[in-house]
Amino acid sequence: MNRRPPYLFPDGAQIGDANVVLHARAKQHRVSNYAGPLSIKTVLSGRVAWIVGGRELVVDRSSFLVLSDGE
C-alpha cells in the first residue's frame, strides 16, 4: 500500500488548485516533474537548491525564490 500521509495531503486536498502553505524540516526533499502553481520558496536556516529549467537556484536565509505557474 503506497498511501500518502493524511497529515500532509488529506483526502480531497486540491494541491495546485488551492492555496497551500507547507512547512517542513528535512535534510533532503525531492520532487520530480511537478509543474505547480505560483510558488514562493524560502528557508529559515541553511540553504536549499532548486533545479528549475536545468539551472540550480540556491536560496538561503537572505533570499527567496518565486516560481511562476508551471515551473
**For the chain, domain boundaries:** 1-71
Higher pLDDT, 55 or 28: 55
The CA-based dihedral angle spanning residues 37, 28, 41, 4, taken in that order and rounded to the nearest 10 degrees = 40
pLDDT digits (tens, 9 = 90+) for 1-37: 555 555 566 666 666 666 677 777 777 777 777 777 7
Give residue 62's pLDDT.
Answer: 95
The pTM for the full model equals 0.60
Q: Residue 11's closest CA among 19, 2, 3?
A: 3
**With 80 as the cut, is the pLDDT of residue 52 above it?**
yes
